[in-house]
């Protein structure tokens, strides 16, 4: 027996997409037979997940006037359980058909594939009024396709071409599996959530600022690449650093800064990078250092505030054990891309000062004009927030809204089916490790001792990949190469 937990939400769901599901004809589609017996591990192995298609570029804007519900809200667990119940019904009834077409389907198209498309959308509860056997791609079907595209992060044009077709043909049992995978995550992420918070959904590469149950602003973000994934955590935004210094990580010192300085020590001055004897030590004249033999950990390299700074005009701090933060970036062009997974774990925020203005609202004389003046001055100013907003970095590949709509995004880090909820995702192909008191390497999940040889081989292969990449980019100017590395932070 399938039960929808909340009476009001049940009425909304049945009045919306559930009604469409229950009204559609009972048809058993062969590709779905036996799907209920497929394990989560088997589903993951078949790669039926939403990561098979590419999302469309999204938009950064203030949306408070649109009265939009946030992705993460106090009702999220109930609405997701309702969605699971709905998709369980869909799977038990045979799922939906596979749409096959060699040509893109658009409004005005007329062929047999349109009939299958109509039945495919109807099976999931999308409103496709009219004759279910109609071969004509009419206005009603156009609106249903656009609704589907919006809920899957696709380009909203009503055109059933490559990416939309791929999303349509993800099997119903795989969608049900994805919804179930996100239930424990949603329960964790919504725990103790307040009235004012910032949420970054890594698979969607989007940030929402939320106040009293409605989205104030939505921002494109650049998040961790697959080999350097962003952590999933809960915290509070505590401080803003305007015109911050950027302290270069040892990895960038070793791989980028030292190779350039060995060719030309004056390069440091061009990039506004100063050298210090340790983190709190005195400044050192770089001309007195033998960069050919120096240990990358020996000195601290600090980039001064300014347009070339890797964090640009602001760094947004919050307590966490992963040393990550939100920040501005000089590389604004990446926000226009559909797939925005380029950082080393930190989160770059598009139109970041919409967010900083919201975070400082009601605090002393901070406002849009003051923030603009401070960033223009390049003066170092730190602001402790008097009313810290909660922060959630989350990993949601599916969520549901009270209006009955269900949304999916690509499983960027391939975490569905692994039981992952929060913490630091392990890059694909790597093993999560911990240490015994005597220093023995242990598998972090099983507690069993690990053979060091495979890990050493992994490190060797990564180093070979780094060297290969250096050769491939040797023809690029050193300014371009360093800028990319700095932006990766």
Q: Mind telling me the catalytic residues?
A: 327, 346
Strand 233-236 with 239-242, pairing = unpaired
Q: Nearest to residue 208, comparing CAs of 60, 317, 313, 76?
A: 60
* Distance separating alpha carbons of residues 437 and 10, to the nearest angstrom: 52
Helices (H), 169-243: 172-190
Residue 276's DSSP bridge partners are: 283, 300
Take residue 102 and report the two structure tokens written for it.
């060699």
Strand 314-317 with 239-242, pairing = antiparallel
Take residue 172 and report the two structure tokens written for it.
């119903």
Helices (H), 107-161: 112-123, 139-151
* Distance separating alpha carbons of residues 399 and 81, to the nearest angstrom: 10
* Distance separating alpha carbons of residues 40 and 262, to the nearest angstrom: 52
Backbone angles phi, psi at 169, to 5 degrees: -95, 10
Helices (H), 248-365: 250-252, 258-263, 267-270, 352-359
Take residue 5 and report the two structure tokens written for it.
């937990």
Contact 359, 385 (CB under 8 A): yes
* Distance separating alpha carbons of residues 52 and 57, to the nearest angstrom: 16
Strand 326-327 with 347-349, pairing = parallel
* Distance separating alpha carbons of residues 206 and 188, to the nearest angstrom: 19
SS3 267: helix
Strand 214-224 with 347-349, pairing = antiparallel
Distance of CA 163 to the CA centre of its chain: 19
SS3 398: strand
457 CB-contact burial (10 Å; exposed 0-12 / middle 13-18 / buried 19+): exposed
Kindly state the DSSP code that residue 99 receives in the 8-state scheme: P
Contact 31, 168 (CB under 8 A): no
Q: Give the length of the chain.
A: 489
User: For the chain, what percentages of helix, strand and coil (3-state, to nearest 5) are there?
Assistant: 35, 15, 45
411 CB-contact burial (10 Å; exposed 0-12 / middle 13-18 / buried 19+): buried
């Amino acid at each position: 027996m399938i039960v929808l937990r909340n009476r009001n939400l049940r009425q909304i769901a049945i009045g919306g997409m559930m009604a469409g599901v229950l009204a559609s004809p009972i048809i058993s589609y062969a590709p779905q037979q036996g799907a209920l017996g497929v394990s989560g591990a088997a589903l993951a192995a078949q790669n039926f997940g939403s990561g098979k298609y590419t999302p469309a570029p999204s938009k950064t804007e203030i949306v408070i006037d649109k009265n939009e519900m946030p992705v993460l809200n106090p009702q999220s667990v109930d609405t997701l359980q309702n969605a699971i119940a709905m998709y369980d019904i869909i799977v038990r009834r045979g799922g939906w058909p596979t749409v096959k077409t060699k040509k893109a389907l658009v409004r005005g198209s007329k062929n047999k594939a349109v009939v299958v498309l109509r039945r495919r959308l109807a099976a999931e509860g999308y409103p496709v009024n009219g004759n279910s056997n109609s071969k004509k791609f009419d206005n009603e079907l156009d609106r249903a396709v656009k609704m589907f595209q919006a809920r899957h992060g696709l380009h909203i044009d009503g055109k059933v071409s490559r990416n939309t077709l791929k999303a349509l043909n993800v099997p119903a049992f795989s969608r049900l599996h994805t919804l179930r995978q996100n239930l424990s995550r949603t329960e964790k992420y919504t725990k103790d959530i307040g009235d004012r918070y910032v949420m970054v959904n890594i698979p969607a590469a989007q940030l929402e600022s939320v106040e009293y149950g409605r989205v104030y602003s939505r921002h494109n973000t650049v998040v961790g690449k697959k080999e350097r994934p962003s952590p999933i955590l809960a915290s509070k935004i505590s401080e803003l650093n305007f015109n911050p210094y950027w302290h270069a990580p040892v990895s960038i010192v070793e791989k980028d800064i030292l190779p350039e300085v060995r060719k030309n020590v004056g390069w440091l001055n061009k990039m506004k990078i100063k050298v210090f004897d340790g983190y709190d030590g005195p400044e050192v004249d770089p001309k007195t250092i033998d960069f050919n033999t120096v240990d990358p950990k020996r000195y601290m390299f600090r980039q001064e505030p300014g347009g070339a700074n890797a964090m640009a005009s602001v760094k947004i701090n919050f307590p966490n054990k992963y040393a990550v933060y939100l920040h501005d970036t000089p590389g604004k062009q990446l926000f226009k891309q559909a797939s925005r997974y380029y950082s080393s774990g930190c989160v770059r925020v598009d139109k970041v000062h919409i967010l900083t203005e919201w975070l400082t609202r009601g605090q002393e004389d901070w406002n849009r004009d003051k923030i603009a003046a401070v960033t223009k001055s390049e003066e170092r100013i730190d602001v402790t927030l008097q009313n810290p907003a909660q922060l959630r970095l989350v990993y949601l590949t599916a969520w549901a809204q009270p209006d009955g709509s269900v949304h999916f995004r690509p499983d960027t880090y391939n975490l569905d089916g692994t039981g992952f909820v929060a913490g630091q995702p392990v890059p694909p192909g790597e093993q999560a490790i911990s240490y015994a008191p005597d220093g023995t390497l242990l598998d972090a999940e099983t507690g069993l001792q690990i053979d060091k040889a495979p890990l050493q081989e992994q490190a060797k292969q990564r180093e070979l990949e780094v060297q290969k990449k250096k050769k491939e980019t040797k023809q690029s100017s050193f300014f371009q190469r360093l800028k990319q590395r700095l932006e990766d932070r």
